[in-house]
Chains A and B, each alone.
Chain A
């Protein structure tokens, strides 16, 4: 009886009231999750304070080497960027989507059998947009699903509902990637579909899968994972296979959100 009344009231409740309720409850819990994230950062800070000076000197030396190699990469990137701009103007090509990189800390990971999501500590306050690609040093993390006042929610690449236009590294033919099963105690997996029949992959010689740039969400060339198994699909026209994703996805603490820049 009570359940029926609650169900009936809930079903006839106007959508805008439900929307207000959803936003209110989200913003009610948001500071709680964020506070825990800041406390974890503080724990890391104090644990780092216990390191010896020798450790810090060694880390500083490594960083100097890393920075030197990044400086070279930045110069090469700038030269390539100018070359692309020149070719675009000569060939009158539409310019590629440009992105602003927004690094963000992960506040909460929520990986279960139903969905794979994470909350990061930047939202509307940093002009994050829904659908923006999210990456890390190992490749794609996912894309922004919801944006809130100070946080945003990212749908992980391992989420079964996420699909990406992809291609094999070194190939131009498009195929489809979709998040797959996420077994307990194992690495996250995805599924590659519509793979050309002349492609082959095995656990000993996996094929790297990268974004194709089609669809306009993800820039081309970002690493998705490695295809470790391919078999001919039931219609015989394509192959289907398993994609092994980066195991670091499950313990990621910092990501970069690529916010698309408007052409003007």
Chain B
């Protein structure tokens, strides 16, 4: 429970930082989407149930401020979590590079999922894709830069909360 709470609080911090960054970037008409970063630490380092609850709650946090079907972010985050959790046995998941690649992959999937879901609701004659592709490019570059810092922050947050990194039993099975 403690690991879930600490991870969720770190995701609230990330949500706050991203929303402030988007506030400041708005005059340039670009925005950063960091959905992949909300998923990867929980999927790579935590046990399934702990990570899933934190990720699902972070998705609901996004849903509460977005004009989309309530639960869309949460389900997309859950899908990305399930996918990364499924493949984590086959990768060196403690390595930073693996974390960065997983974040970029998850972010791409969530971004496209969200884009297709929202694009269906737009009126005809609107072509959001040029803008979306620019946002995606900016987001991926930003995520490549900040992922090592944020994954490290989440690891340290767990340590500061008095929770030593437990050995992952699922890896042995």
- B115 adjacent to A113 (CB under 8 Å): yes
Q: B29 contacts which chain A residues (CB < 8 A)?
A: 111, 182-186, 188, 250
What are 26 pairs between A and B in contact, CB < 8 Å? A3-B75, A3-B78, A6-B78, A7-B78, A10-B75, A22-B60, A22-B63, A26-B64, A28-B61, A29-B64, A32-B12, A110-B22, A110-B31, A111-B31, A113-B128, A113-B129, A113-B131, A113-B132, A117-B67, A155-B67, A160-B122, A181-B130, A182-B29, A182-B131, A184-B130, A184-B134
Bound Cα distance A117, B64 (Å): 13
Q: B26 contacts which chain A residues (CB < 8 A)?
A: 109-111, 250-251
Stretch in contact with the other chain, from B13-21, B93-101, B145-153, B165-173: B13-21
Q: How many A-B residue pairs have CB under 8 A?
A: 131
Given A3-B79, A28-B64, 14 more A-B residue pairs with CB atoms under 8 Å apart are A2-B48, A6-B52, A22-B70, A25-B57, A36-B20, A110-B26, A110-B65, A113-B128, A114-B114, A114-B115, A161-B123, A181-B127, A181-B128, A181-B131
Q: A117 contacts which chain B residues (CB < 8 A)?
A: 67
The contact of B19 among A33, A115, A184, by CB within 8 Å, is A33
CB B137 to nearest CB in A, in angstroms, measures 9
How many residues from A make CB contacts under 8 Å with B?
44
Q: Say what secondary structure dominates the interface of chain A.
A: mixed
Q: B12 contacts which chain A residues (CB < 8 A)?
A: 29, 32
